[in-house]
Amino acid sequence: MACAHACSRLCWHSHTQPLVCMRTLRQKLVLATVLVFSLTTLAILLATRVVIVDAMSQQSSRDSARSAALLSSALGPLLAQRDLAGLDELSHDLVQRGDFTFLEVRDSNQQLLSQAGSTSASAASLSETTLRVGQRNYGVARFSLDRGGIEAATDQILGRMLAICLGTMVLAALLLVYWSGVLTRSLTALRNGADRMAAGEQDVRIAATGKDELAKLATAFNHMSEVLSERFTALESAEKRLQESHAVLEHRVSERTQHLEQTLDRLQLTQDELVEAKKLASLGALVAGISHELNTPIGNALLTASSLQSLLRETDTSVQNQTASRKGLIAALGTGQEMAGLVVKSSQKAAELITSFKRVAVDDASQQRRRFDLLSIVSDLMRAMSYGLKHSAHAIELDIPTGVVMDSYPGPLDQVISNLIQNAERHAFGPNSTGLLRISATLVAGGQRVELRVQDNGAGMPANVLEHVFDPFFTTKMGQGGSGLGLSIVRNIVHGLLGGHISVTSTVGQGSTFVLDLPLLAPLVADSVASTYAPL
């Protein structure tokens, strides 16, 4: 109970205001030792008292038995003779000698015959014996013995034991204070050494005296300090080398970055030159197509006009010579009207071709956004590309419904479709083969978008080509006129300016299909951004 009370008080103090005795290991050891010795002393004292009390009880029982026998042999005959005077005198004499503190004698009828000594003793502490002579009972004697000496001796023994225990406890506490001081000094030295190492000091050593555990701990600490010092030195050296390597690496990275920037600039310049060259090539093909397409109607018109001029000259000569007949004039007039009609038709056809070329050229050059009919601009594009298509022996089918009106950029869209057609002619079909190109369109997403498909039935593409088909400078015709930029530019235009998405599926031997998912209303972009998508 005392230990629990002390612990509860210690815990209470530790929650409200920390006790000084609990701050150091030394004070904790002293407190623990005092508590152990206190509990041990208390246990020893309690055990000793129990032993002494038990011994006193046994001794008292033996003394009471001897006293009862003495009283029975001394007082029994006097009581049997009814010598009351002698009985009373002997009773007082026994009490006065200190053998008894109280003594009374009663006959068999419980009549008091004699009483001596103090009667303060309780009935429970009185002993009683029967006074017999032979087998006859003459009365009883009640008495109490003097136990003051035994109790005094007991108290003296307990006092001396307490003094010995207290002295032992004080001596043990002093020894504990001394040895705990030795222990804490060693631990303090270890802690100070650890603090110095934590502060950055490397060469830290502490004194290691003796051969006990503390000395071994100090030796281990010194060894650890030495190892750490060596490792710190190695780390500093490695850090220095790392910094030097880092500086060299930074210099190399800077040089290589500069070299890469120069390489990228050259690549960009080369790409621009390739784009310009492709523009010129496309322009040459367009001019050749225009020249060829215009050659037929203009040639027909010129030939017919020449024939008409000859007819008019002959008719005029006949009229001047007055040799012309009415029938001849009517025939000449009919022939002239037919020739004039042919000239008009040829001129109208040339005008239509020039209008289509002009519309395509204006769209490609201006990059302006406007509303247009999808079927109309694709048809104009097919007429502009008709010269090249006539010489390719490939058929083109259009399956585009009327009324698909877009608010977008017709020039870049023409460029995308023409690039896909030229790509199919160059890669999908062999030199002597004939193929089919099909351009179809379908409204999707509730009429908000159009899905434009450019499909061929050519050779198709394997998987390793298909996954790189939109990569810049990727071509399967390297060294044969292919730049590898066509489909990359197509993807950039579709994903950027037109605000759509392009994908491709292909099966070897069956052909390829390019699918353009385009919004009818293209996203708004700045004119400077639109101008970057230059036509090829």
CA distance 146 to 404: 136
User: 43-54 b/e with 16+ CB inside 10 Å = b?
Assistant: eeeeeeeeebee
How many residues in the chain? Answer: 536
CA distance 59 to 40: 28
Under DSSP, the state recorded for 521 is: B
Report pLDDT for 39: 81
pLDDT digits (tens, 9 = 90+) for 325-377: 777 778 778 887 777 877 777 777 677 666 655 555 544 444 678 899 999 98
Which ranges in 367-393 belong to alpha helices (H)?
A: 374-384, 386-390
The CB density around residue 483, as the number of other CB atoms within 10 Å, is 20
Assess whether pLDDT exceeds 70 at residue 388.
Answer: no
Provide mean pLDDT across the span 401-411: 92
Give the pLDDT confidence score for residue 277 in this predicted structure.
63
Could you say which DSSP state residue 447 is in?
T
Answer positive or negative: Cα dihedral of 225, 227, 228, 230. Answer: positive
Q: Which residues pair with 407 in a beta bridge?
A: 371, 521
49 has a pLDDT exceeding 70 = yes
Residue type, 120: S
* Site of tokens 């850090």: 239
What token pair was written down for 321? 């010579």
Mean pLDDT, range 203-209, rounded to an integer = 72
| Both structure tokens of 88 | 């009373």
In the predicted model, what is the mean pLDDT of residues 239-248?
A: 87
Range of weakest confidence among 19-33, 174-188, 247-261, 400-414: 19-33
What counts of helices (H) and strands (E) characterise the chain?
12, 11
Query: Alpha-carbon distance 468 to 475, whole Å?
Result: 9
Contact present, 491 and 516 (Cβ < 8 Å): no
Q: Which of 67-76, 115-124, 336-345 has the lowest mean pLDDT?
A: 115-124
Strand-pairing partners, residue 454, are 439, 514
Q: What would the CATH number be for the domain defined by 371-536?
A: 3.30.565.10
pLDDT at 16 over 50: no
Where residue 103 falls among pLDDT bands split at 50, 70, 90?
Answer: confident
Closest by CA to 487, choosing from 297, 278, 283, is 278
Q: Containing H/E element for 139? A: strand 136-145
523 CB-side CA count, 13 A: 13
- pLDDT tens string 449-499: 999 999 998 888 888 888 888 887 777 665 454 556 778 888 888 998 899
What is the residue-averaged pLDDT of the chain? 75
pLDDT at residue 117 greater than cutoff 70: yes
Distance set, CA 270 to CA 265, 267, 276, 473, 485 (Å): 8, 5, 10, 11, 11
Distance in Å from the first CA to the final CA of the chain: 103
Higher confidence at residue 30 or residue 391? 30
pLDDT winner (highest mean) among 90-104, 143-157, 280-294 = 90-104
Q: Does residue 72 register a pLDDT over 60? A: yes
Cross-strand partners of 507: 511
Three-class SS state of 441:
strand
| Beta strand pairing call for 100-107 and 112-117 | antiparallel
Tell me how far CA of residue 423 lies from CA of 312, 392, 465, 466, 513, in angstroms.
52, 13, 14, 14, 12
- For residue 100, what are the CA distances in angstroms to 57, 121, 147, 271, 509? 17, 12, 9, 137, 139
Radius of gyration of the chain (CA): 66
For 502, phi and psi rounded to 5 degrees?
-125, 140
- Please give the Cα distance from 67 to 94 (Å, whole number): 11
> What is the band of 8 on the pLDDT scale with cuts at 50, 70, 90?
very low
One-letter amino acid identity for 130? Answer: T
- At 160 the pLDDT is 79
* Helix pair 410-423, 374-384: axis angle to 10 deg: 50
CB-based contacts of 217, cutoff 8 Å, min separation 6 = 186, 190
Give the model's pLDDT for residue 224.
81
The CATH topology of domain 22-180 is Beta-Lactamase (3.30.450)
Q: Are 484 and 478 in contact (CB under 8 A)?
A: yes
> Domain ranges in the chain?
22-180, 371-536
Burial annotation 198-220 (CB, 10 A radius, 16+ → b, else e): eeeeeebebebeeeeebeeebee
